[in-house]
Amino acid sequence: MGIEVLRVILGWAVFAVFHSLTVSEGYERLARRVMGGRAFDIYHRLLFTAYSGVVFLLLVLYLRSVPDAPLFRLQGWPRLLCHAVQLGGAAFLLWTPWDLKEFVGLRQWERRTEPAPAPGRNDRLFTGKAYGVVRHPLYLGISAILAANPVQSWNTVVSTAMVILYFYVGTFFEERRLMRKFGDEYRAYRERVPRFLPLRSTSEGRGRSALRPRGPSGG
């Protein structure tokens, strides 16, 4: 399975690079110059959702073409334990407040007729509910659901590892943006709330996230 595993890693790596570039501040500055400030605020998120969805669909089709083999299938109480973890991850996602319409760009499009659109949810630092437990609760909830799957193949295990790794690495870039945006308010927040797991860590100053993820990611 060596070459197949490398193909899966390569597929996710290409997607990660694409996604990272298209959520970068440099890319957004370029898009704003090309589209104009007003059009960018109204349409960019919708366009981002559309082309990110297409690229993700291509990734899924590519991964389905990679030969795979079963790795394990848990039964009995281990399977029930895995499902319990998945339910916990799903509950954590439901406890995480986020606006689906704003996430995909519909809310911004609906505000197109406003002469001075009101700030969106992502323009305010939110630290309540699940964001008071970890700074990136959406990433944690999705990671729990994927990692606790009781039926795994080689490709799904590698894909899960790549997704969780990308989530974790992405938090550092996302938090750099949030620090510039919210300054001392965000600094105080990250000092009291852990980053990814609900565990205190003195190595990173006890905490950092808020807000929603920037793509089929960030949060």
Q: Which domain holds residue 195?
A: 2-204
Q: Is residue 47 part of a domain?
A: yes
Summarize pLDDT for 50-63 with one digit per residue, the tens.
Answer: 999 999 999 999 99
Q: Is residue 209 part of a domain?
A: no
Q: Is residue 101 pLDDT above 90, yes or no?
A: no
- CA separation for the pair 8, 49 (Å, rounded): 23
Could you tell me the pTM of the whole model?
0.84
The CATH number linked to 100 is: 1.20.120
Q: Is residue 89 part of a domain?
A: yes
Q: Is residue 138 pLDDT above 60, yes or no?
A: yes
Q: Is residue 24 part of a domain?
A: yes
Q: Is residue 157 part of a domain?
A: yes
Q: Is residue 162 pLDDT above 80, yes or no?
A: yes
Q: pLDDT value at position 214? A: 40
Percent of the chain with pLDDT over 90: 69
Q: Is residue 25 pLDDT above 70, yes or no?
A: yes
Q: Is residue 212 part of a domain?
A: no
- Enumerate the β-bridge partners of residue 38: none
Q: Is residue 198 part of a domain?
A: yes
Which range (2-6, 70-74, 215-219) has the least confidence?
A: 215-219
Q: Is residue 99 part of a domain?
A: yes
